[in-house]
Structure 1
Amino acid sequence: MRKFLLVVAGLSLACAAVVALLQSFHKPMSQTYVQDRGYFYRFRADFEVKATGEKIAFDYVAACNIRLTRWRAGGLSNDTTLSPRAMVQATRDGQAVLLQTVDGCHGLTSENGDVPPDLLPLAVWFEDVSDLSAGLGYASEDAYDSPIAKLAFHGARIDRATRYEWEEWRKKSAEQYTERGVLPGPWGYDFPNSDPPGLGQYVRSCEGYRRLQLPDDLRAKLRDLWPEGRPRYWTMPSEAERQSLGNIILLLTRRFEPGDGRGGLPIRSGQIISRSGLRLASRPPTEIYPLLWPPLTSSLPMTKTNEKSKYVQRLDYRDGAMNGFVACQRYWEAIVFDGGGDKPTRRQVFEVDGIVTKEFSGKPPGLERPAFVAERDEAVFQYYSSVF
């Protein structure tokens, strides 16, 4: 009898386990705890509209690593994030300025001297607050010093904040928010992996080319690769770019050790601040110019076209007039491939100031875009991007 009861009890437990398992498929998993590992910092940046003198002041609290959730069914949901990724403000006259949030999640602050006063965040100017799908990015101090600049920059800083300050900022922002054009709301936007309805109307990336002038010894190496006919702008076949033009740029950047130009905080000098707070001379002084993908055809004024006869990527150099700027546009417009078809139905080319330097062979344009473009035997343009 005892053995029988043990068997029955065992079967009952097994059946209960099966029932519980089946029920788990029909109801959402519930969490057992939420562990707060949040880090918060206050990010401020001040601008001025040159034409009117209007002050545009950004002052908000960014949140990092807000929560870590463990589920009863097992596993962790790690919601590590930086939020907001960008904030937008409208001007009195109906333009807009977007500020990309500098990543301060690693504890560097201005008050501790880790972040220098020449911190330079990326700002984007839009001519119309009702259209935030394409704008002109200010990527270096040369942009603000340019005669075509619409904005003046008056500095930025990062300071430690608390969860309470973050919650208070969100509350105050919601109370003071005024809807204009297609502004994303009181708390900016974060560009999640899966876009909610409406988010696609905003820029997702800024792209351009850094122009690096070469010293005499590296100019000699570039001259050896210069095609016959000595074109002003030229490229190498895609499979040979990195082994030819790329190697020349690598030789140049190695002279500016330590640092590899990746990570850290951007500053006006063209250097970076590493996550440990060390100031690195990470790359040679450079110029930077906008890269335009269809449907963009001009960065100033920002112009779109419905041109169907050919697909043109443009480096908007203008003999140096666009130095300091990058072009910012919606992400999928930057990777579009002839309407998504398998084979191109129109000519696809890359131009510098209207001069065709490369004709694509039919692969998706994102794969064909040159990583390097040479100018005579004097300089090399190197591709640059900043994805929000």
Structure 2
Amino acid sequence: MLAGEYLFVAKMREVAWRAIFTVLLASAILGLAGCGPSERDDFKFGWFYRMVVELDHGDEPLNIEVIIACGSQVRQILGEGRSARGVWAPYIYGVRTSNGEGVLVQSPNVCNRELAKQPMPADFLPVVFLAPDASNLEFMIAYLHEQAYAQPFSKLKFHRATFTEVSRADYDIWRLTKWKENIVPIGDRNAEYLRGSSFFRGEGFFPSGDPRNAGGLRMTCHSFIRTPLPDAPKETVRSHWPADHPQYWLLNWDVVNPILTQYGQEMREDARRLLLWDRETLGGHASFTEAKGVNRRSGVGQIEENPSPFIVTSGRAPRIPYRVDTGFPWASKDLFARTTLDVHADTANGADQGFAYCYRDVFAYYFPRPQGGEVRSTDRKVFIDDQLIGRWPGATQMGAGGVIVENDEFLWLQSYFDLTHELARMQ
């Protein structure tokens, strides 16, 4: 039910956003009414913004400069009239550090803002990623909370992000200089524009037979949200607590689902009362995909224009990163015969203060569903800071068999977001 609520709200936001751009780009539509969309390049970039993100990577200062190109795409859908929609690029841009790691930033969707009239928030906080290996972006650590930068686990310190409107000439110079430092793998321009193929999306970007090409498979960032339990269901939860009362233990979905259904609204309200977050969802999709920044305790830090409590704005929830055995690149051929899969979450040194692990989960490649049949079952072993806390037996799906419980106070609910957006491109 909660996921359904989020999808409905997200769809309404997308419809409203497109309506705004239809008005803004009406002249483009009229001007191109007599010609069909180009098969070679149907994107028309016409206005530009410079974003400078100031960070420290250890003792190394980093000023990451990105010029965001904005434009329109004219398209003709069979059975419908011609239309235009706004696009921006690059969606994610990264640089190599002196020690061979990578630091990447997500470009916000600023294309419908006139900065003189609607300046960016002074405390805007973009989503930032750390890649342990700048030459292999298949695993990255996402920074999704302002307090993440203050943790011993962090290798980064965030200072500020600034924005100015610039000209096409500035953009062309940047493409000839700074753009060449970009560590994100770039493929064929037309394949991305016309078919959506890109490194983070896959679907034809990689060589034939590569499991990363699977349709619908995206590079995704994974975390648990530490969610407070209201008093009312605590007695039910305690009745399943092992006799030795461990700090972390496992609870099956058949117990958790009725709690979320009955007490979901109360759990949201408790989180707000405890100042944990204000407009986060209870698991499911986070809003970071939309490239509107990280919600901060100031209530800003991001560019969501509708402050309604029913509009998701992620960034204040305490997030705990996790990874799974079926994640690429560490997934290997031995999975074809494995009967157990491991889930690893990290909390040490403040890792539980706003991070996510980003990778592709290629579960379906190693555990295909026979036609009309069941996925081969496996046990899930769950580790926190490399300590086994329990297992879920006989799982037949990609997701976990339940939730992690912290004492009798918090449920750890899975949350994720994709590193792709329908209206964003990498180049």
Give the TM-score of the pair, scaled to structure 2. Answer: 0.64
Aligned mates of 1:283, 1:179 — CA distance in 2: 30
- 1:253 maps to what in 2? 268
Shift of 1:46: 2.0
- 1:96 maps to what in 2? 102
Decide which of 296, 317, 331 is 1:286's aligned counterpart: 317
Worse overlay, 374-383 or 344-353: 344-353
Aligned mates of 1:357, 1:108 — CA distance in 2: 53
8 Å CA contact retained: 2:145, 2:296 = yes
Aligned mates of 1:283, 1:123 — CA distance in 2: 14
- 1:276 maps to what in 2? 305
- 1:206 maps to what in 2? 221
Shift of 1:81: 3.6
- 2:356 maps to what in 1? 326
8 Å CA contact retained: 1:292, 1:316 = no
- 1:174 maps to what in 2? 176
Worse overlay, 79-88 or 185-194: 185-194
Secondary structure of the residue aligned to 2:108 is coil
- 1:355 maps to what in 2? 388
Shift of 1:238: 2.6
Decide which of 230, 235, 248 is 1:223's aligned counterpart: 235
Pairing of 1:1-388 with structure 2 (within 5 A): 32-33=35-36, 40=47, 42=49, 44-64=51-71, 66-70=72-76, 76=82, 80-107=86-113, 109=115, 112=117, 115-160=120-165, 164-165=167-168, 168-170=170-172, 172-178=174-180, 183-184=185-186, 191=200, 194-197=203-206, 204-213=219-228, 218-219=230-231, 221-226=233-238, 227-229=240-242, 230-245=245-260, 247-254=262-269, 256=272, 259=279, 265-269=293-297, 271=299, 275-276=304-305, 278=307, 286-295=317-326, 304=330, 308=335, 309=338, 310-318=340-348, 320-329=350-359, 331-333=360-362, 335-336=363-364, 338-340=366-368, 342=370, 343-344=375-376, 346-353=378-385, 354-366=387-399, 368=400, 370=402, 372-388=403-419
Once the two structures are superposed, what CA deviation does each residue of 1:64-107 show, in whole Å capped at 9, x if it has no partner? 5x221349998547565442221111113321112122233443
Q: Aligned residues: percent identity?
A: 15
Paired residue type of 2:414: Y
- 2:21 maps to what in 1? none
8 Å CA contact retained: 1:49, 1:55 = yes
Shift of 1:235: 4.1
Shift of 1:268: 2.7
8 Å CA contact retained: 2:224, 2:413 = yes
Higher RCO (CA < 8 A, seq sep 6+): 2
Aligned mates of 2:345, 2:222 — CA distance in 1: 10
Secondary structure of the residue aligned to 2:55 is strand
Shift of 1:154: 1.3
Shift of 1:313: 1.9
Shift of 1:325: 1.5
8 Å CA contact retained: 1:177, 1:185 = no
Shift of 1:170: 4.6
- 1:3 maps to what in 2? none
The alpha-carbon distance between structure 1 residues 253 and 83, as it changes in their structure 2 partners (threshold 3 A), is: same
* Unmatched runs of 5 consecutive residues or more in structure 2: 1-33, 193-197, 420-427
8 Å CA contact retained: 1:253, 1:284 = no
Shift of 1:364: 2.1
Aligned mates of 1:313, 1:336 — CA distance in 2: 16
Secondary structure of the residue aligned to 1:266 is coil
The alpha-carbon distance between structure 1 residues 196 and 102, as it changes in their structure 2 partners (threshold 3 A), is: same
Secondary structure of the residue aligned to 1:242 is helix
Q: Number of paired residues?
A: 342
Give the TM-score of the pair, scaled to structure 1. Answer: 0.70
